[in-house]
Amino acid sequence: MIFKVFFTIFFIIFLGFCFIFYFDFSYNKEDKYNKLNSMVLFTNSFKISFSNAYSEDNSQLQNKPYLFHKSTNHMDFIYVK
Amino acid sequence: MLNKSFYSFLFLMLFTHRSKHFSIFVISIILVFILSSVMFISTSLSKDIQYTLNSQPDFVVQKMKAGEVIDIDLSLIEKIEQIYGVKNVTSRVYGKYFFKPLKQSFTIVGVDFFEEQNSKNLKTLSKKLDMSKFLEKEYMIIGSGVKKLFDKFKYDKSYFFTTPLGESIEVEIYDVLDDTTSLLSNDMIILPKELAKIVLGLDEFKASDIALNVPNELERANAKVEIILKDDNLRVISKDDMKSYYLNLFNYKTGLFLVLYIVVILTFLLILYQRYSMINSSDKKEIAILKAVGWSIKDILKLKVFENFLVAFFSFSIGIILSFIYIFVAKAPFLMQIFLGFSNLDFSYELTPYIPFGSIVTLFIFYVVPFLCVILIPVWKIATVDVIKSIK
Amino acid sequence: MIEVKNLYKIFNQNKKNEFTALENVSLFIPKEQIVLLKGVSGSGKSTLLSIISSLQKPTSGDVIVDGEHIAKLPDLHASKFRNEKIGYVFQDFNLINSLNVFHNVMTPLIVQNLSKDEIKAKVINALSLANIKHKKDEFVSNLSGGEKQRVAIARALVCDANILLFDEPTANLDKQNSLKFLSLLEDFKKLKKTVIIATHDSIFEQSNVIFETINMQDGKIV
């Protein structure tokens, strides 16, 4: 009975790792990188749509690491009226 | 002494003490889960960014005024093209458009759809592209986050942009970019360049900035200097600046978690050590009994090491598997925000699965080795010094 | 046979709470005989037994068991000696409560390179000798005092050890079980075991298999 328990645990772990390797192998990375690269070439810029992204239109060139930050832009104010 | 009966006894003891090991097992899984999630997400994101950052233009030229970025004159393009080693000088049009109903901004990017390179790239991005039909009228291509918002507010086929001059322009949606590129395209609206200028309020002969390439690495420093000299108040940002920014960002985030790791693991090890050194523990008596019936210190240590190694190994494996599923299958709901910051719009990006074997092995060593050491010391102490005391 | 020469055991030597448990103890125990170590609590009987079984090392002196000097053996050899030659039955039995009778008796055999079948055969044999075979799958925590002692005896017999050491065997037993233990002594005699019993119980005076009684007081032989 004890062996059955441990064998089950080993087997679950084995299946888990098989799943991980299968998932990694079957994921179409090339297609994704092609699309991302096309995106960058198409828009001629690398813009990540998150607040921790590097913003070229910022007046300051400092690195801004922060955990949570809502990004706003001075252009927003034009439309508030 | 590594015979079959030893292994049977090992599993028997492990099973007998399952309730004692269970709490350690669960805490270990949680620890490994957190640490490996951080590891997976940071390596995956940095790989994605690394692979795509190279396609970004080498330099971006911006016009500054009183410390703020302003629109740049298109006449500068000709001047820059004269610089030796410079190629693909193009104007870029982009900006934020405020979506009143939700008080959120979209990123508008203007693209010259007629350019051959761009049509090639567009074909990769859009499956149902019919170039002739697409170029007939002024269409827009939107990101998946934008689409979700538009659907919510019933803008199914088109949207009315309000220009800074107060005009209303209707633009039809041609296609939606899928989640594969949502890291970049989630809040994006891609318009024809001239239309983008109108919507963003840019002058006909101006652009947001100018992008260019300098293929020869050795000429880059020179090119940068020459560009700056072409006009007053110009700022030149290089691709390397961006690369180092992202590298720092991930290193900083990873650094934060490293500190967390040290604190948490030390606490955990202290708890483990405490548990094993408990005076009234029946574990202590068991070790003394085994000693009394003829087990050597080496045998007892072997038993305990294997027993705890199995616990550590099981918890480590399950932690890794769960974190992999959390990050790459469930798309890391909370952790993504911590790494990339707050997202403008509802976001759904599939991280590219990447298994950093080196990091996993390192994590395993730095987890299992202290774990076993902390167990071994009290066990050795009991088996040598305290045998008679424990037996009474 | 067991020979003890000028044995000293001093705890916490050169410290404030220095305590001499054994002082110049010398004795000779012949083969296949049952010897009684008599003395009140604190007379040093348990310490002497633990030194003979190489569970503890003496401060000075020598112990020779079947020609082997065991007083200063390194741990690996001492453990092997204890495993193969000694069967120790403790006063409170010292069984592993979380395991059943079979697994408890099996523990000394794990360190010997035996097959599963060999181990099973030896354990069943020992359980039969100790008359506790019918409870082999029972958990030790569910047994009575007398039954626990028989399990401890089975564990002591399982490695075919020739020397059996008993530390206050009747201390935790009632009169009936104590008498049962006395009858066991005759079985040990038949099995040609060398037995040392450390006790202060007078019930052993009734037995006629006792070869010799050695009296101890304050760590010395009197």
Q: What angle do CA C38, C44, C49 make, to 5 degrees?
A: 80
Bridge partners of C212, per DSSP, are C35
Best of B96, B105, B313 to disrupt the A interface (most A CBs within 10 Å) is B96
- pLDDT band at B343; cut points 50, 70, 90: low
**What does the alpha-carbon distance between residue B27 and residue C1 come to, in Å, rounded to a whole number?**
54
Chain C positions touching B290 (Cβ under 8 A) are 107
Q: At what angle do helices B357-384 and B18-53 cross, to 10 degrees?
A: 160
Round to whole Å and give the CA distance between B316 and B332.
Answer: 19
Class of domain C2-221 as given by CATH: alpha beta
Question: B302: distance to nearest CA of chain C, Å?
Answer: 11
> Of the candidates C56, C103, C108, which has its C-beta nearest B12's C-beta?
C103
Which residue, among B44, B46, B38, B39, has the nearest Cα to B248 in the 3D structure? B46
Which of C90, C111, C115 is facing B299, going by the closest CB pair?
A: C111
Going by pLDDT thresholds of 50, 70 and 90, the confidence category of residue A57 is low
Q: Which amino acid is at B154?
A: K
Q: Name the token pair of B10.
A: 């090992």
Question: CA-to-CA distance for C131 and C137, rounded, in angstroms?
Answer: 14
- What is the pTM assigned to this prediction? 0.82
Range scoring the smallest mean pLDDT among A31-35, B95-99, C6-10, C85-89: B95-99
Cβ distance of B100 and A58 shorter than 8 Å: no
What is the predicted pLDDT for the residue at A71? 43
Compute the count of residue pairs across chains A and B with CB atoms less than 8 Å apart. 208
pLDDT tens column, B81-93: 999 889 889 999 9
Q: Would you kindly state where each structural domain of chain C is located, as residue ranges?
A: 2-221
pLDDT above 70: percentage of residues in chain B: 95
Closest among A50, C214, C50, C45 to B337, alpha carbons compared: A50
Q: Are B143 and B125 in contact (CB under 8 A)?
A: no
Touch criterion met for B and A (3+ Cβ pairs within 8 Å): yes
Domain ranges of chain B: 4-52+245-391, 59-213
Q: What is the pLDDT of residues A7-46, one digit of tens each?
A: 999 999 999 999 999 999 999 888 888 888 888 888 888 8
- Answer for the pair A58, B70: CB distance below 8 angstroms, yes or no: no
Extract the tokens encoding B279: 């005076």
Give the confidence band of C151 by pLDDT, cuts at 50, 70, 90. very high
Residue for token pair 């060139």: A61
Per-residue pLDDT of C156-171, as tens digits, reads: 999 999 999 999 988 8
Region C105-110: mean pLDDT is 94
Q: Which residues of C touch B298 (CB under 8 A)?
A: 75-76
Are C55 and B294 a contacting pair at CB < 8 A?
A: no
**Contact between C86 and B387 (Cβ < 8 Å):** no
Which of the 8 DSSP states describes residue B215? -
**pLDDT per residue as tens digits for the range B318-332:** 999 999 999 999 888
Confidence class of residue B266 from pLDDT cuts 50, 70 and 90? confident
Name all contacts of C105-108 with Cβ < 8 Å and 24+ positions apart: C105/C151, C105/C154, C105/C155, C105/C158, C106/B9, C106/C158, C107/B9, C107/B289, C107/B290, C107/B293, C107/B295, C107/C155, C108/B293, C108/B294, C108/C83, C108/C155, C108/C158, C108/C159
pLDDT tier for residue A54 given thresholds of 50, 70 and 90:
low
Distance CA B149, CA B101 (A): 10
Q: What is the pLDDT of residue B386?
A: 62
pLDDT at A67: 35
Model confidence pLDDT, tens digit, residues B181-193: 888 888 889 999 9
CB atoms within 10 A of CB A40: 22
**pLDDT tier for residue A63 given thresholds of 50, 70 and 90:** very low
Alpha carbon of A30 to those of A27, A38, B153, B155: distances in Å?
Answer: 9, 12, 35, 34
Give B137's DSSP letter. S
pLDDT in tens, C56-87: 889 999 999 988 899 888 989 999 999 999 99
Question: How confident is the model over B132-158, as a mean pLDDT?
Answer: 85
- Chains in contact with C, where contact requires at least 3 CB pairs less than 8 Å apart: B
Name chain B contacts of A44, Cβ cutoff 8 Å: 57, 90, 92, 111, 211
Residue that the structure tokens 């719009």 belong to: B345
Contacts of C82 in chain B (CB under 8 A): 292-294
Question: In this model, does residue B344 exceed pLDDT 70?
Answer: no
Q: Which of residues 267-306 of B touch C (CB under 8 A)?
A: 282, 285-286, 288-299
What is the token pair recorded at B359? 């990091």
